[in-house]
Amino acid sequence: MEEATVGIREFKARLSRYLRRVKAGETVLITERGKPVGRVVPVQPGAEERTRTLTHLGMLAWDGHHLQALTPPARLRRHPTVADLLLEDRR
């Protein structure tokens, strides 16, 4: 991935040009008096979009449904200490 370096004044003056470059996949490093102050990077697709793409390419099988959250099988009434766990394990 390429990275263009541009001063803040140049960036402000030609914002549309640099945004087109970002849309094309390039990263733009913004500097002020030669020191980096920011970076504009292309947006990465979300997990669902990547999953749909992989499914479409035949690299993944997914029915589109989300998994339900699992509930813990048991809950402790209090948090046991390490000593309690050691004693229980030795019994």
Per-residue model confidence (pLDDT) at position 32: 96
Per-residue model confidence (pLDDT) at position 16: 96
The total domain count for the chain is 1
Region at 72 (left for phi over 0; alpha for psi -120 to 50; beta for the rest):
beta
Domain residues for the domain of 33 are: 3-57
Tokens linked to 3: 């990275």
The answer to the question of residue 26 being in a domain is: yes
Per-residue model confidence (pLDDT) at position 30: 97
The answer to the question of residue 11 being in a domain is: yes
How many Å apart are CA 12 and CA 14, to the nearest integer? 6
Question: Is the whole-model pTM more than 0.95?
Answer: no
Q: Please report, for the domain that includes residue 9, its CATH number.
A: 3.40.1620.10
Per-residue model confidence (pLDDT) at position 74: 67
Residues with pLDDT less than 50, the chain: none
The answer to the question of residue 64 being in a domain is: no
